[in-house]
Amino acid sequence: MHDPTELLEDGPAAVRRLARRRYDLDLPALETAVRRRSEAQADVTRLRTELNRVSRTRGRTGPPSEEEKEAARALRADVQQAEAAARDAGDDLSQLLLGIPNVPLDQVPDGDSEKEAVEIRRWGPARLDEGAPHHSDIGESLAVLDGPAAARLSGSRFSVGRGAGARLERALTDFFLDLHTREHGYTEYSVPFLVSRDTMTGTGQLPKFEDDLFRTRVGDRELFLIPTAEVPLTNLVARQLLDARDLPYAFTARTPCFRAEAGAYGRDTRGILRLHQFEKVELVRVCAPEDAPAQLELMVGHAEECLRLLELSYRVVLLPAGDLGFSARMTYDIEVWLPGSGSYREISSVSDCGTFQGRRADIRHKRADGRKGPAATLNGSALPVGRTVAALLEQGVQEDGSVLIPEALTPYTGFRRILPGGATA
């Protein structure tokens, strides 16, 4: 969420920056909404002042007359009406601001899609192997993925892990969490998978992405299934004033993630790359605004270390302005090499949201000199389980059809190799 005064002060510059992400900022509408709220608040202040004056002077020389009583009643009604008008004006401005995405940083490249992403670095080989098997075929031959069972249970875009496949998924979550808590300094949380509308709004999923969310109603209670642990983790400090000396905060959690994928019809229908439900280990950091750039680089390094320890080839790219998530002002995508499709595919997005979510969720910090302001937030995947399994299968498959498990993971799996038919060794 933005400070409307800052947007108006930036004026044409704000319009140009938001146009880079194909958003048309309506400055006159924003100016009208701000003026309407200011005038409504001024009316409330003026009428309250008048009501206080009347209340102080009434009856000083005797019992108040009927005319004085009537004037006071009329003023109180005027105050209530003005307060309602001010609330409406404030709500209208808030709704307008809630629909404006974050402003991209200047160093973010131009462009609208992953094609314009700027490659930063690569790690590991990315060989184009003619006829390299797809992870769904590998998973079926090893009896570790059961797509037909998932379809029978829930329909398309769900998965079932079986035997060594289920064990591999469990091993990955433990491996990621141990790495982030023991080596990277994150505090692990167990968080709800169902959250309120206010919680979703605080991180920017609502109101814009309501069609991509699963929700449930019980009576008059509405709750949403989280699309990522970013939502509950970031909101752990919503509506709080944080001591700047305690920052940065570093949170992590393993949760299922639920996404309707409303805009992904026909994409990645085969395998486990794009599902309605998947597990992921998420990282969130909360810091002073000036520290956000350094924190972003640190988080990218934490996600990269997961892949290097798993011996998975990948690259890091800087997303263009038009491909940024709604709440992000800068994002690095980490893309893992998938030989079965002969391409790099996103396995992690690490985003700097600046103070955008801090304003929406009312996450503030207090500096040593007493100054208060919104805190900055960052988030990133490290890593999603399903896509990591897909990469392990495709990069680890051997000539005999078995899959070799990285040495760093074997203490968690209890095996070094998955053999055709589901046996392990």
The CATH number covering residue 308 comes to 3.30.930.10
| Average pLDDT across the chain, whole number | 94
With contact defined as beta carbons under 8 Å apart, do 387 and 345 qualify? yes
- Is residue 263 included in any domain, yes or no? yes
pLDDT tens-place string over residues 114-154: 899 999 999 999 988 888 999 999 999 999 999 999 999 99
- Is residue 65 included in any domain, yes or no? yes
pLDDT tens-place string over residues 157-166: 999 999 999 9
∠ Cα 88 232 195 (to 5°): 60
Q: How far apart are CA 113 and CA 189, in angstroms?
A: 34
Residues 87 and 152 in one domain: no
Residues 6+ positions from 127 with CB-CB distance below 8 Å: 339
Residues 67 and 184 in one domain: no
Q: 64 pLDDT exceeds 90?
A: no
Residues 6+ positions from 87 with CB-CB distance below 8 Å: none
Residues 129 and 87 in one domain: no
Tell me if residue 394 falls in helix, strand or coil. helix
Q: 67 pLDDT exceeds 90?
A: no
**Amino acid at residue number 98:** L
Picking from 98, 126, 153, the residue at the C-terminal end of a domain is 98
Picking from 34, 65, 98, the residue at the C-terminal end of a domain is 98
Tell me if residue 407 falls in helix, strand or coil. helix
Residues 37 and 65 in one domain: yes
pLDDT of res. 63: 75
Buried-exposed string 60-77: b where 16+ CB fall within 10 A, e elsewhere: eeeebeeeeeebeeebee
Any bridge partners for residue 279, and if so which? 256
pLDDT of res. 1: 81
Run of H or E including 139: helix 135-141
242: pLDDT confidence band, cut at 50, 70 and 90? very high
Question: What proportion of the chain, given as a percentage, has pLDDT over 90?
Answer: 88
- Is residue 108 included in any domain, yes or no? no
pTM: 0.92
pLDDT of res. 72: 82
Nearest to 403 by CA among 336, 312, 309, 321: 312
53: pLDDT confidence band, cut at 50, 70 and 90? confident
- Is residue 334 included in any domain, yes or no? yes
pLDDT of res. 62: 64
Domains: count for the chain: 2
pLDDT of res. 57: 74
Residues 24 and 136 in one domain: no
With contact defined as beta carbons under 8 Å apart, do 367 and 244 qualify? yes
Picking from 42, 72, 98, the residue at the C-terminal end of a domain is 98
Residues 136 and 162 in one domain: yes
Residues 91 and 158 in one domain: no
Q: 266 pLDDT exceeds 80?
A: no
**Per-residue pLDDT averaged across 221-249, rounded?**
98
- Is residue 104 included in any domain, yes or no? no
Residues 91 and 127 in one domain: no
Residues 86 and 166 in one domain: no
Q: Report CA dihedral (410, 414, 415, 421) to the nearest 10 degrees.
A: -130
Half-sphere exposure of 94 (CA within 13 A, CB side): 13
| CATH code of the domain covering residue 37 | 1.10.287
- Domain interval for residue 182: 114-418
227: pLDDT confidence band, cut at 50, 70 and 90? very high
Residues 121 and 87 in one domain: no
- Is residue 93 included in any domain, yes or no? yes
Residues 83 and 190 in one domain: no
- Strands, DSSP E only, in 19-125? 118-123
Q: 225 pLDDT exceeds 80?
A: yes
- Go through the chain and tell me how many residues it has: 425
pLDDT tens-place string over residues 181-218: 999 999 999 999 999 999 999 999 999 999 899 999 99
Residues 13 and 160 in one domain: no
pLDDT of res. 267: 63
- Is residue 216 included in any domain, yes or no? yes
pLDDT tens-place string over residues 328-368: 999 999 999 999 999 999 999 999 999 999 999 999 999 99
- Is residue 425 included in any domain, yes or no? no
Please give the residue that has the higher pLDDT: either 94 or 57.
94
